[in-house]
Amino acid sequence: MKTKGAVILKPGKDKPLLHRHHWIFSGAISSLPDFADGDLLPVETHDRKCVGTAYFNKKATIAGRMVAFGERDPYEAIEKNLQEALDFRERMFSGSNTTAYRLVNGEGDLLPGLVIDRYADVLVLQISTLGMERLKSFIVDLLLRKLKPKAIFEKSTLASRKEEGLQEVQGVLFGDKPGEIEVLEHGLRFIVHPEEGQKTGFFLDHREMRQGMRELSFNKRVLNCFAYTGGFSVYAGAGGAEQVVSVDISDKAMAMARRNVAANNLPNNNQEFITADVFAYLRQNPIDSDLVILDPPAFAKRRKDIVAACRGYKDINRLAMQKMPKQSILLTCSCSYFVDEALFQKVVFQAAVEAGRSARIIGRHRMAADHPVNICHPEGDYLKSLLIYLA
């Protein structure tokens, strides 16, 4: 079906979209109609066959993002994809002892540019693209009708918004400002502050890795580096760790970590909280821990940061490996999208060689099911973890 005002792709550039990939780069486009950035436009092959509908932004490297494939109405497709995402989480978490989880994971739920996290009866919305910004009121209306939350808070503070021509936005979309929220994760209590916390308030994507550390922590001395508000530390304590040391550069994060430990009635006498730069701490102190956790922030936020990021990952892992006792275990993580799993493993291998340690991989990242990766869109897979045994 021919459509006026459509985006026409170059010959041979339609294959990714026909395979349900969501991104359209400017180099794949043969012609564009007149439009305002953020508009929804039909997309057609070079021989004018319908591919679907995407929103477009001339300012962005990724010029378009598909919200509907085939001839489906885009608003119907968005509502259907949102409902399927909500239904999936309902099946996973209804009646569970977890009340904090991701409701929508961007392309992983066929809704590019949109993340929605649930903290008890509060929803936190994060929008990264102009096209999704233009759809925000439609999305909020759907959420109010389908979930009836107590509040919806927007925390769209991603650096990527700048390329889209968007300012950072943070504020209430419905209800009252949420403040602190107490949530459950695998039955453990955590205090989350969406406005002041990192990301949307908590690192939900590491839930299953935290549970894995709980299983490993019994009678262990645990060192949790880049501890933030003590997620891994609480799990280690709940798992029966002999000692837990939490290190983070933020006083505020360490204060919240103390509160999270207290909220779970964990013994205080075996939990230590140290405000320090992790690199400096590892250089200046011995490590007598049986289990060390390295979960740093993203070192590579842009492609040009890859070399510096790899240097940082190698340094931090080498520092830990050099000092960790024999027969200890290291959990090392990277959330840098531009450092893929193969490169991360190579960097950790180099760290082991420089540290002069015999290292064996005994586990990999345990993915949280509420952070699905669309098999047609592998770019959504950003979080890597290696569990390493140091002989």
- Round to whole Å and give the CA distance between 43 and 12: 14
Active site residue 335: yes
Strands 243-248 and 328-334: unpaired
- Cα distance between residue 85 and residue 112, in whole Å: 13
Report, in angstroms and rounded to the nearest whole number, the Rg of the chain calculated over CA atoms.
23
Contact 237, 210 (CB under 8 A): no
Pairing of β 62-69 and β 100-105 = unpaired
- Determine how β-strand 114-119 pairs with β-strand 169-174: unpaired
Give the span between the Cα atoms of 257 and 109, in whole angstroms. Answer: 32
DSSP string, 6-58: -EEEPTT--HHHHTT--EEEGGGEEE--S--TT-EEEEE-TT--EEEEEEE-T
Q: What is the DSSP string of 279-324?
A: HHHHHHS----SEEEE-PPPS-SSGGGHHHHHHHHHHHHHHHHHHS
Beta bridge mates, 247: 225, 274
Question: Choosing from 225, 310, 333, 335, which is the catalytic residue?
Answer: 335
Residue 153's SS3 state is strand
Calculate the dihedral angle through the C-alpha atoms of 255, 257, 258, 262, rounding to the nearest 10 degrees. Answer: 140
Report the half-sphere exposure of 354 (CA within 13 A, side-chain side): 15
Write out the catalytic residue numbers: 335
